[in-house]
Chains A and B, each alone.
Chain A
Amino acid sequence: MGLLNSIKKIMGWEAKPAQVAMEKKVEATKEIKPVTNKIKIGHVHMSGCTGCLVSLADNNLGLIKILDDYADLVYCLTLADVRNIPEMDVALVEGSVCIQDKESVEDIKETRKKSKIVVALGSCASYGNITRFSRGGQHNQPQHESFLPIGDIIDVDVYIPGCPPSPELIRNVAVMAYLLLEGNEDQKALAGKYLKPLMDLAKRGTTGCFCDLMNDVINQGLCMGCGTCAASCPVRAITLEFGKPQGERDLCIKCGSCYGACPRSFFNLDVIPEFESISEIIAGALKEGESDD
């Protein structure tokens, strides 16, 4: 609690008496978030359906707030007019890499070289997902047959699984990445703790499947039948029979969501029990107009 309170204080997000002089407020927030401290974010488009980017945009005002106060979108083929991959603090990579497409392979390597933090945005970048089912032969590049999650080509720092990833998780990671890079010691500590399980997912591997629940949860004696896995499955491949998950394995698109969502894959006791204050911090960071001048 102490940690969180001090973060709120420093960020100026604690409950304020109603009559704070406007001038003072603007001045104070300027001090906290000078525009020069914005981080550089890019969206790198590999073989994905743009659903991940749409999810990012679905943060609506939250996205505008992020771009106003915390981050510059320095690269995004769909939204920003920049051709070559620039230096970035955070690269959000959507889609898997077609290894028969030289340009994609170069781009992903370039992304790694130019970015402090590489985030696999969505299940195709993290696990291959639906692109695992490619057999090639399609117009107009029939030879584009083999697609790999980005972690099979470069080192990846953070996973945001999901097909598509939820806007809220993208938002949380963006805010935490900002705190990690630009925050004070306390903020860095919180952001580090928050991001750790998503970094661990990135270290864990590049395949996702219902089987992960069998191998690493049920077979390990950890499943308690909460049903979260079924809720997270984008294709409703999971049902609970007598309180335990059963996967329609032919339906499974290999997105890896169920495992990441399961409370028994990871449950960080130093973060999740603080849900009330962390949610307040994130909501405070994105509150429309609060630090706008």
Chain B
Amino acid sequence: MIEDPYLGKYISCVSARSTDREILKKAQDGGIATTLMVYALEEGMIDGTIVAGEGDRPWQPKPVVAMTREDILKARGTKYSISPQISWLKEATRSFGLDKVGVTGVCCQMQAVRKAQLYPINMRDVPDKVAFTVGLFCMENFPYKSMQSIVEDHAAQSLGSVKKMEITKGKFWVYTERGNVATVPLKATHKYEQPGCHVCLDYVSNLADISTGSVGSPDGWSTVFIRTKKGNEIWSKAVAAGMFETKPIEDVKPGLDLLKKLAKEKIDKNQKTIEERKTFGVNKALRNPYA
């Protein structure tokens, strides 16, 4: 077990890409999240999984309990807006009757799952029925109207025409169906971020069974942390079954150094915010959830 103050605890870390061409067609990066959940479903390790599916508006995510390959595939690709994944956590065990629940989501949602397992406040059945979690790396998220402003006002593209969005190399990238590529410098997007993200102390989903993101690996590949015993078991089986191509993380560029740098930047900045909240008013502090 490796323990890093910024990258959390993990058993191993690799660069990987799905071998499923259909999944890769619309995956955000290496199709890790989708492929893992499809594999776990088909092998009976989960009965279904919470994913960020399609909402009512263009690029608005909506949490969905997916119980088929088809529904898991519908959630491919990153939506840069809030998808309250955990709102379905208990219902998944009740209305949907799942005994083995999968969860995909960002770092704070992995934290929410673990809190629900250790402190199950009105979360009957949840602690023992969470079967497998895949967490995403996450620097920040945006309210829907923020994302709309970035895409429509700053990048001057209509949301309905967008094929993919991505945050990388210091910019917010918008790719349209017709082949337009527009970028917005992150300097301009910071003010639109969800405020709750500014006290977030996790960049790489430290509490997931397996966590994944793009940073650290070449385009089209993903960086993958295998963190728990359960994650290790599922990952080993999936790799043995030929679901992924893998490369040692040490052999790829830009590698773990960049990831560590970004993780440190995020966490140090947010620690500072938490510190500043202590003296926000005149003899009045803003609340610290970690105290």
Contacts and interface: CB of A to CB of B under 8 A. Distances in A.
A275 B141 CA distance: 25
Interface stretch (A87-95, A145-153, A226-234): A226-234
A168 B127 contact: yes
Interface in A149-173: 160-169, 172
A233 B89 CA distance: 12
B228 A263 contact: no
Contacts of A222: 196, 199, 287, 289
A277 B206 CA distance: 15
B195 interface: yes
Interface in B251-291: 286-287, 289-290
Given A222-B287, A272-B111, A231 B119 contact: no
Nearest to A268: B290
Interface stretch (B80-88, B179-187, B240-248): B80-88
Nearest to B81: A243
A226 B119 contact: no
B289 A261 contact: no
Interface string A30-68: 000000000000000000000000010000000000000
A161 B109 CA distance: 21
A221 interface: yes
Given A231-B87, A243-B83, A243-B144, A224 B114 contact: no
Which of B115, B123, B229 has the largest number of chain A CB atoms within 10 A?
A: B115
Contact of B119 (A167, A197, A240, A273): A197
A144 B6 CA distance: 56
B128 interface: yes
Interface string B228-250: 11000000000000000000000
Given A216-B287, A228-B112, A269-B290, A166 B86 contact: no
A166 B207 contact: no
Nearest to B85: A227
Contact of A267 (B111, B196, B228): B111
Interface string B87-118: 11111000000000000010011011011111
Contacts of B9: 273
B121 A261 contact: yes
Interface in A201-254: 216, 220-228, 230-234, 240, 242-244
Interface residues of B, number: 56
Contacts of B200: 224
B87 A227 contact: yes
A161 B122 contact: yes
B118 A172 contact: yes
Which of A220, A243, A279 has the largest number of chain B CB atoms within 10 A?
A: A243
Contacts of A230: 84, 86-87
Which of A225, A257, A272 has the largest number of chain B CB atoms within 10 A?
A: A225
Which of B9, B82, B85, B89 has the largest number of chain A CB atoms within 10 A?
A: B82
B90 A232 contact: yes
A223 B196 CA distance: 5
Nearest to B287: A220
A260 interface: yes
B218 interface: no
Contacts of B116: 228, 231-232, 261
B120 interface: yes
A167 B199 CA distance: 32
B53 interface: no
A68 to B, nearest CB: 21
Contacts of A172: 118-120
Nearest to B128: A168
A124 interface: no
11 contacts: A168-B125, A222-B196, A224-B194, A224-B196, A226-B105, A227-B88, A228-B89, A231-B116, A242-B145, A243-B81, A267-B111
